[in-house]
Amino acid sequence: MNIGIIGSGAWGTAIACVAADNGHNVVMWARESEVVQEINSAHTNERFLKGAQLATLIRATSSMADVGECDVAITATPTQNVRSVLHDLDLNGKIIVNLAKGIEVGTHCRVSEIAAQTLGSGVRYVVLSGPSHAEEVIQRMPTTVVCASTDAESAHVVQEMLSIPSFRVYTSSDVAGVEIGGALKNIIAIAAGIVDGIGLGDNTKAALISRGLAEIARLAIVLGADPKTLYGLAGLGDLFVTCSSRHSRNRSVGERIGRGETLQQITASMSAVAEGVTTTTAALELASSAGVELPITQKVYDILFKSEDPRKAIYDLMTRQARTEN
């Protein structure tokens, strides 16, 4: 197949490698001309994914039209950019695969909803998610993910397209569960990084991950998700790896916050986007409209945007009114 990837960041590059390993031709759209040149001449992408050696089946382009001519289009841009990117595409009923994990600020839309609004309700939409750091995927470390779509045929096409011995793809029909799991785990990962940054221990982090999963599940279920999805790859699996890995950008943001840096200092030093930062605001607004309480997300928001002391935030969470576990 001919596969187009919109975005040349770490995850888009890793998925390009998976597709090429499976024998597909890949064209990657990049905004930066120097990245296009490096991919085409040196077959590397040192700016966004150091150490990746790209197959000759992968080429880069600065023309979005090249992506539109492919059999499948994969969006590998941050959630807040997806709407503008899709406006520039004419997919003519082709499958679109989303790699972003977030909620749009202002509209509170998940990416599936953005795609339906911009491309029409008949869009063949698939979301790919799960515990999968790009740095390990390019080393062919065993990785499992899930692709979800309301169209079983489209999910099966993507499963076959990206399945190789080191990259196992499961299918699901629960788009809402996979999208909410992927979006909110980034917020909990920021909180996990804060716990690391201020030097708290395993007990604290285990409590955070457990209660964070309950928080994610509450919102997802209200939005129509299958509870089982949140205990699978796109829920517990992705939450665990993002909260614990040195590769996690969101956890790293939280750790630096916990050590005393400001959000402005951190974001100014990063070349990639930590989606949990913007998703925090959107998730709180979405949860409010759905009548769902997200206490950990609220405290992450207060720390990031209201300069609340992290230790005070944890104290407030620990001294909330006692209740039964659910």
Summarised one tens digit per residue, pLDDT across range 90-118 is 777 899 999 999 999 999 999 999 999 99
Instruction: Report whether 302 contacts 288 (CB < 8 A).
Output: no
User: What is the SS3 assignment for 198-239?
Assistant: CCCCHHHHHHHHHHHHHHHHHHHHHCCCCHHHHHCHHHHHHH
Report residues of the chain scoring pLDDT below 70.
Answer: none
Instruction: Report whether 179 contacts 224 (CB < 8 A).
Output: no
Distance of alpha carbon 22 from alpha carbon 219, whole angstroms: 36
Instruction: Report whether 282 contacts 172 (CB < 8 A).
Output: no
For residue 122, the model assigns a pLDDT of 79
Q: Which of 185, 205, 228, 306 is catalytic?
A: 185
Q: For residue 245, which phi and psi values (nearest 5 degrees)?
A: -90, 145
What are the structural domains, with CATH classification, of the chain?
Answer: 2-174 (3.40.50.720), 176-318 (1.10.1040.10)
Cβ neighbours around 65 below 10 Å, total: 12
Q: Token pair for residue 81? A: 């950019």
For residue 50, the model assigns a pLDDT of 94
Torsion of CA 114, 119, 121, 125, to 10 degrees: -70
For residue 271, the model assigns a pLDDT of 74
For residue 89, the model assigns a pLDDT of 82
* Known active-site residue 205: no
Q: Where are the beta strands (DSSP E) in the chain?
A: 2-6, 25-29, 58-61, 72-75, 95-98, 124-129, 143-148, 167-172
Return the H-helix or E-strand segment holding 193: helix 175-197
For residue 121, the model assigns a pLDDT of 75
For residue 91, the model assigns a pLDDT of 79
Q: If you count them, how many residues does the chain have?
A: 326
Cβ neighbours around 151 below 10 Å, total: 16
Distance set, CA 319 to CA 200, 202, 295, 312, 314 (Å): 17, 19, 12, 10, 9
